[in-house]
Amino acid sequence: MGKASTKNTLLIVVLSAYCLLTLVPFYILAVRAFTPTIQSTELHLWIPERRDLSMNSRIGDLSTIYNVDARAFRNAMEIKGYLNPQLKLSQIAEQYGIEPDRIRDYLEPYVQYNGIYTIVNNGFVRSLIATIVVTGASVLVGALLGIMTGSALAGFRRRWHMFVYNSYLLNMIIPPMMVILPQYIIITRYLGLENSLMSLILLHIKGGALSTMVFTSYIATVPRELKESVAMDGGKHYHYFLYILLPLMGTPFAVFASITMPWFWNDLLHALVLLRPDNYTLPAFVASIGGTFTTNFEAIFSGVLLSLAPILVVYLVFQKLFIRSAMAGAVKG
Amino acid sequence: MKPSESSARVASSEGTRTQAARARSRREFLTDLIYIAPQYVIYIGLQLLPFAIALPIIFTDQVDFLDQDVNWVGFDNIASLFQAPLDDRLYQALRRTVIFSVVNYLMVFLFGFLLALAMFELVSKLKGIFFTIIYMPWMLSGIGVGLIMVMLFSTDTGSFNLIVSELGADGNAFDAKSETTALFVLPFMYGWKAAGFNMALFLGGLLAIPTETIESARMDGAGYWKRVWYIYLPQIVPSIIIATIFSIINSFGIFDELVGLGALAGNQNAEFMSIFIYQLGFGSATMGGAKIGTLAQGITASLVIFLPLVFLAFWLNRLQKKMSYH
Amino acid sequence: MSQVTLSNAVKRYGAVEVLHGIDLEIAANKLTVLLGPSGCGKSTLLRMIAGLEDISDGDLRIGDRLVNDVDPSRRGCAMVFQNYALYPHQTVFKNMAFPLKMKGTPKSEIELKVRETAKVLELEPLLDRLPRDLSGGQRQRVAMGRAMIRNPEVFLFDEPLSNLDAELRVKMRLEIARLQKELGATMIFVTHDQVEAMTLADQVVIMNGGHVQQVGAPLDIYNHPANRFVAGFIGSPSMNFLPFESVRNAENAAVVRLEGGLEIALDRVVPDTARTLGVRPEHVSVGGRNLTIPEDQFTTLGAEHLGDRAYHYVRLPFGDITILQAEGQALPQTGALSLGLNADRVHFFDADGLALGQASDQTTGTT
Ligand SMILES: Nc1ncnc2c1ncn2[C@@H]1O[C@H](COP(=O)(O)OP(=O)(O)OP(=O)(O)O)[C@@H](O)[C@H]1O
Ligand SMILES: [Mg+2]
Residue C207 Cα to ligand 1 middle (Å): 13
B122: closest CA among A15, C352, A288, C117? Answer: A15
**Residue C92 placed within a domain:** yes
Q: Looking at the structure, do residues C205 and C245 belong to the same domain, yes or no?
A: no
Asked whether the beta carbons of residue B159 and residue A8 sit closer than 8 angstroms, the reply is no
Interchain CB contact of C342 with B (< 8 Å)? no
Residue C177 Cα to ligand 2 middle (Å): 21
Q: Looking at the structure, do residues C275 and C343 belong to the same domain, yes or no?
A: yes
What is the mean pLDDT, run by run of 10 residues, along chain A of 333 residues?
80 94 94 86 83 80 79 82 82 84 82 82 92 96 95 90 88 78 86 90 88 90 91 90 93 90 93 90 90 79 94 92 77 49
Q: Looking at the structure, do residues C223 and C243 belong to the same domain, yes or no?
A: no
Interchain CB contact of C344 with B (< 8 Å)? no
Write the residue in C8, C54, C66 that is nearest to B24 by C-beta: C54
Ligand (nearest to CA of C40) = 1
Q: CA-CA distance, A46 to A33, in Å (whole number)?
A: 11
Mutational test site, ligand 1, from C33, C40, C193, max ligand atoms within 8 Å of CB: C40
> Which residues of chain A have a CB within 8 Å of the CB of C52?
228, 231-232
pLDDT tens for each residue of C265-275:
888 888 888 88
Q: Looking at the structure, do residues C207 and C267 belong to the same domain, yes or no?
A: no
Binning pLDDT at 50, 70 and 90, where does residue B285 land?
very low
Binning pLDDT at 50, 70 and 90, where does residue C1 land?
low
Write the residue in C52, C89, C150 that is nearest to A248 by C-beta: C89
Asked whether the beta carbons of residue B17 and residue C69 sit closer than 8 angstroms, the reply is yes
> Which residues of chain C have a CB within 8 Å of the CB of B16?
69
Q: Is C340 helix (H, G, I), strand (E, B) or coil?
A: strand
Q: CA-CA distance, C67 to C60, in Å (whole number)?
A: 6
Of A184 and B289, the structure prediction assigns the larger pLDDT to A184
Question: With a 6 A CB cut-off, is C40 part of the ligand 1 pocket?
Answer: yes
Q: CA-CA distance, C205 to C215, in Å (whole number)?
A: 5
User: What's the rounded mean pLDDT across residues C146-150?
Assistant: 90
Q: CA-CA distance, B13 to B17, in Å (whole number)?
A: 6
φ, ψ dihedrals at A228, nearest 5°: -65, -35
Asked whether the beta carbons of residue A230 and residue C79 sit closer than 8 angstroms, the reply is no
Contact, C80 vs C158, CB < 8 A? yes
Ligand (nearest to CA of C44) = 1
Write the residue in A152, A176, A283 that is nearest to B141 by C-beta: A283
Q: Looking at the structure, do residues C221 and C267 belong to the same domain, yes or no?
A: no
Q: CA-CA distance, B319 to A265, in Å (whole number)?
A: 32
> Which residues of chain B have a CB within 8 Å of the CB of C54?
21, 24
Binning pLDDT at 50, 70 and 90, where does residue C37 land?
very high
Binning pLDDT at 50, 70 and 90, where does residue C155 land?
very high
User: Is C205 exposed, middle or buried, given 0-12, 13-18 or 19+ CB atoms closer than 10 A?
Assistant: buried
Question: With a 6 A CB cut-off, is C192 part of the ligand 1 pocket?
Answer: yes
Residue C80 Cα to ligand 2 middle (Å): 12
Asked whether the beta carbons of residue B14 and residue C57 sit closer than 8 angstroms, the reply is yes
> Which residues of chain C have a CB within 8 Å of the CB of A253?
none
pLDDT in the model for residue A264:
95
Question: With a 6 A CB cut-off, is C43 part of the ligand 1 pocket?
Answer: yes
**Residue C285 placed within a domain:** yes
pLDDT in the model for residue B137:
95
Percent of chain C, pLDDT > 90?
45
pLDDT > 80? residue B65: no
Q: Looking at the structure, do residues C52 and C153 belong to the same domain, yes or no?
A: yes
Residue A225 Cα to ligand 1 middle (Å): 15
pLDDT > 70? residue C358: no
Binning pLDDT at 50, 70 and 90, where does residue B290 land?
low
- Determine if the pTM surpasses 0.90: no
Residue of A nearest to B137 (CA): A22
Ligand (nearest to CA of C207) = 1
**Residue C360 placed within a domain:** no
Nearest CA to ligand 1 atom 10: C18
Nearest CA to ligand 1 atom 18: C41
Q: Looking at the structure, do residues C291 and C204 belong to the same domain, yes or no?
A: no
Chain centroid to Cα C43, Å, comes to 14
Ligand (nearest to CA of C39) = 1
> Which residues of chain B have a CB within 8 Å of the CB of C57?
14, 17
DSSP string, B193-235: HHHHHHHHHHHHHHHTS-HHHHHHHHHTT--HHHHIIIIIHHH
Asked whether the beta carbons of residue A152 and residue B31 sit closer than 8 angstroms, the reply is yes
Q: Looking at the structure, do residues C307 and C348 belong to the same domain, yes or no?
A: yes
Q: A319 CA to chain C: closest CA distance, Å?
A: 25
Interchain CB contact of B16 with C (< 8 Å)? yes
Going by C-beta distance under 8 Å and a sequence separation of 6 or more, which residues neighbour residue C96?
C114, C117, C118, C123, C142, C145, C146, C149
A208: closest CA among A169, A237, A180? Answer: A169
Percent of chain B, pLDDT > 70?
89
pLDDT > 60? residue C47: yes
Identify the domain boundary among C231, C248, C281. Answer: C231
Interchain CB contact of C68 with B (< 8 Å)? yes
Contact, A192 vs A252, CB < 8 A? no
Binning pLDDT at 50, 70 and 90, where does residue C71 land?
confident
Contact, C36 vs C158, CB < 8 A? no
pLDDT in the model for residue B272:
92
Interchain CB contact of A331 with B (< 8 Å)? yes
Percent of chain B, pLDDT > 90?
32
Neighbours of chain A (3+ CB pairs under 8 A): B, C
Q: Which residues 129-168 of chain A have a CB within 8 Å of chain B?
A: 145-146, 148-149, 151-153, 158, 161, 164, 167-168
Asked whether the beta carbons of residue B286 and residue A40 sit closer than 8 angstroms, the reply is no
**Residue C120 placed within a domain:** yes
Identify the domain boundary among C188, C212, C231. Answer: C231
pLDDT tens for each residue of B254-277:
999 999 998 888 888 899 998 988
Binning pLDDT at 50, 70 and 90, where does residue B14 land?
low
**Residue C363 placed within a domain:** no
Ligand (nearest to CA of C56) = 1
pLDDT in the model for residue B53:
79
Question: With a 6 A CB cut-off, is C249 part of the ligand 1 pocket?
Answer: no
Residue C86 Cα to ligand 1 middle (Å): 23
Kindly report the average pLDDT of chain C as a whole number: 88
Q: Is B133 helix (H, G, I), strand (E, B) or coil?
A: helix
Q: CA-CA distance, C243 to C262, in Å (whole number)?
A: 11
Q: Looking at the structure, do residues C246 and C139 belong to the same domain, yes or no?
A: no
> Which residues of chain C have a CB within 8 Å of the CB of A242?
none
A232: closest CA among C32, C120, C152, B26? Answer: C152
**Residue C170 placed within a domain:** yes
Q: Which domain holds residue C342?
A: 237-353
User: What's the rounded mean pLDDT across residues B23-27?
Assistant: 85
Question: With a 6 A CB cut-off, is C210 part of the ligand 1 pocket?
Answer: no
Identify the domain boundary among C178, C209, C231. Answer: C231
Q: Is C288 helix (H, G, I), strand (E, B) or coil?
A: strand
pLDDT in the model for residue B31:
92
**Residue C362 placed within a domain:** no
Number of domains in chain C: 2
Q: Which residues 72-131 of chain A have a CB within 8 Å of chain B?
A: none
Asked whether the beta carbons of residue B13 and residue C66 sit closer than 8 angstroms, the reply is yes
Q: Looking at the structure, do residues C57 and C165 belong to the same domain, yes or no?
A: yes
Residue C192 Cα to ligand 1 middle (Å): 13
Q: Looking at the structure, do residues C224 and C102 belong to the same domain, yes or no?
A: yes
Interchain CB contact of A206 with B (< 8 Å)? yes
Q: Is A265 helix (H, G, I), strand (E, B) or coil?
A: helix
Q: How many residues does chain B have?
A: 326
Binning pLDDT at 50, 70 and 90, where does residue B297 land?
confident
Mutational test site, ligand 1, from C16, C17, C18, C33, max ligand atoms within 8 Å of CB: C18
pLDDT tens for each residue of B136-185:
999 999 999 999 999 999 888 888 988 888 888 777 888 888 999 999 99
Contact, B105 vs B251, CB < 8 A? yes
User: What's the rounded mean pLDDT across residues C7-25?
Assistant: 92
Neighbours of chain C (3+ CB pairs under 8 A): A, B
Interchain CB contact of B233 with C (< 8 Å)? no
Q: At C201, which CATH number?
A: 3.40.50.300
Q: Is A135 helix (H, G, I), strand (E, B) or coil?
A: helix
pLDDT in the model for residue B166:
85
Q: What is the DSSP letter of A249?
A: -
Q: B86 CA to chain A: closest CA distance, Å?
A: 19
Contact, A187 vs B46, CB < 8 A? yes
Interchain CB contact of A248 with C (< 8 Å)? yes
Q: Which residues 17-36 of chain B have a CB within 8 Å of chain C?
A: 17, 20-21, 24
pLDDT in the model for residue B158:
87
Interchain CB contact of A246 with C (< 8 Å)? no
Residue C40 Cα to ligand 2 middle (Å): 8
Q: Looking at the structure, do residues C148 and C297 belong to the same domain, yes or no?
A: no
Chain centroid to Cα B225, Å, comes to 30
Which of A10, A131, A159, A178 is best to mutate for the B interface (most B CBs within 10 A)?
A178
User: Is B316 exposed, middle or buried, given 0-12, 13-18 or 19+ CB atoms closer than 10 A?
Assistant: middle
Q: CA-CA distance, B71 to B61, in Å (whole number)?
A: 6
